[in-house]
Amino acid sequence: MTAALIVCIALLAIVTAVAIRQKRRYDRSLRKIRYMFDSIKNLDYAFCFPVNNVSGEDRLINASLNRIKKLIMDARLSEAEKEKYYECIIDSVDTGILVLDEHGFVLLRNSAALRLLGLEVLNHVSQLGRISGDLEKDFVNLRPGEKRLVTFSNERGDVHLALRATDVMLRGETHLLVTVSDINSELDENEIESWLRLTRILAHEIMNSMTPVTSLSETLLKKVRSGATRENMEDIEQGLSVISKTGSELIKFVQSYRNFMHVPTPRPSLFYVKQFAERMVSIARQGIESQTGQPQMAYSSVAGEDFGIAFHVDIQPEDLIVYADEDLIGHVVTNILKNAIQAPGTRNIWFRAYSDSQEAVVMDIGNDGEPISENVARHIYMPFFTTKKNGSGIGLPIARQIMRLSGGTVTLVTSQPRQPAFDPASPLASDTTHASDTTGSSPRTIFELKFP
């Protein structure tokens, strides 16, 4: 029994020694693994575990850890090469690119962005305040899917940039990707083209007026030199009348040009769209009555045919408000309503206002008259272009200029026969007069006013 006890004690001692040895080897291997991961976390790849003069198990573990390090280091070098490659591509484009986090820190920027913004370093959007306070606000308030045009001045003069934003996901976090485009050259080309077009129009109109006046003046001068006979006096009187009328028309044309070039600066304020729409409809009704002498908004746009024009107003919600210059926007709406009334075949006019998915206030003004042709639609915003006998051709150009100054847009949304853009609203009893059955009628021409 004593021998058996001794054997058991010896076996227990051997097992204990082996366990202690394995535990030390396990702890040593664990320390190596921890050391390797700490080094990789700190981007330190200079370590290397020895594979010579060590036991077979340690040699296997060390070689495996060295291999893991090499795989991770190769993968990181490959990612670094790709990142450098993408940076070279980004730096080679003329469009500025910025990636911002939610706190305004710049995570990525290319050389074009720094060049366009006139900076050597950009780490936070607050640095843009050194250039322009408004520029910093534009970047801070920029939202995904939004586009903004910004202007600021530096030593190079006025700089015009277009900003476009979109959201991107980086490492599980959403960031803002902003592209910056230089539109100076585009604006310069458009400005030169606009001035050339306007100069041609002015030259054409002035020459059309002055050529017959010059010719007529020479004829009258000859008659005066030949003697003041009764016949000559009648011709002179008639000729002077023509010159006077032509001069008046030329003055009217110049006045139209002055009106186009001097649009007042908007003074925005909050106002209710419903009351505004009712006032515009009332003014339109009075205009029809004053032109035709017929009450109840009866109006004929075709000679020999009498029919009424019904106004359909729909404001959703009824307490919808907009921030703009009410008087100037009234000028825009009045002009569009006037064009709708004068469109051949108009029997219904729709005035609809609502707030879209981006919380912009939208006013749609449509009519079911003869649609605007595609050829005419391309020129409706060109100054002095008109298809009317007594039109000035500045109504819609001024309307567009007012909307631009107000930060909004005016757009011809559709002009197709019987192509509804929205359901006709139920007519307001106080603002509508039915002259015919309008069931199934829909707008054929729609102008959209949008206030972001």
The whole-number pLDDT of residue 320 equals: 93
Query: Average pLDDT, whole number, for the chain?
Result: 75
Lowest-confidence pick of 126-140, 271-285, 387-401: 387-401
* Nearest one of 361, 367, 212, 245 to 299, comparing CA atoms: 367
Least confident of 2-16, 63-77, 188-202: 188-202
Annotated domain spans of the chain: 28-89, 93-182, 187-261, 269-451
pLDDT band at 107 (very low <50, low <70, confident <90, very high): confident
Is pLDDT of 438 > 60? no
Whether the predicted pLDDT of 297 surpasses 50: no
Query: What is the model's pLDDT at position 345?
Result: 84
Provide the pLDDT for residue 207: 66
Q: How confident is the model at residue 139 (pLDDT cuts 50, 70, 90)?
A: confident
Using DSSP, state whether 173 is helix, strand or coil.
Answer: strand
Is there a contact between 95 and 109 (Cβ–Cβ < 8 Å)?
Answer: no
Sheet holding 445-451, edge to edge: 310-315, 348-355, 361-367, 445-451, 409-415
Lowest mean pLDDT among 290-304, 333-347, 433-447: 290-304
pLDDT at position 201 is 61
Q: Are 209 and 246 in contact (CB under 8 A)?
A: yes
pLDDT band at 204 (very low <50, low <70, confident <90, very high): low
Give the CATH architecture of domain 187-261. Orthogonal Bundle (1.10)
| CATH number of this structure's domain 93-182 | 3.30.450.20
Work out the pLDDT band at 361, boundaries 50, 70, 90: very high
Per-residue model confidence as pLDDT tens digits over 263-274: 778 889 999 999
pLDDT tens, position by position, 32-73: 788 888 887 887 878 888 888 777 777 888 888 888 888 888
From the centroid of its chain, how far is CA 185? 19
Name beta bridge partners: 239. none
Find the mean pLDDT for residues 295-315. Answer: 56
Whether 362 has a pLDDT exceeding 90, the answer reads: yes
Q: At 127, which helix (H) or strand (E)? A: none
pLDDT score recorded for residue 49? 82
Range list of H helices, 93-156: 111-117, 133-140
The Cα 296–Cα 288 span in angstroms is 9
Distances 272 to 286, 332, 393 between C-alpha atoms, Å: 22, 16, 30
Residue 315 has pLDDT above 90, yes or no: yes
What SS3 class is residue 146? coil
**Class of CATH domain 28-89:** mainly alpha
What distance in Å separates the CA atoms of residue 395 and residue 391, rounded to the nearest whole number?
9
The reply to whether 187-261 shares the fold of 93-182 is no
CA 329 to chain CA centroid, nearest Å: 19
Sheet harboring 96-100: ordered strands across?
A: 106-109, 96-100, 173-182, 157-170, 147-154
Q: Comparing 59-68, 135-144, 211-220, 424-433, which segment has the lowest mean pLDDT?
A: 424-433
Q: What secondary structure letter does DSSP report for 379? A: T
What local confidence, expressed as pLDDT, does residue 111 receive? Answer: 86
CATH of 269-451, one of 2.60.40.1940, 3.40.50.261, 3.30.565.10, 3.40.47.10: 3.30.565.10
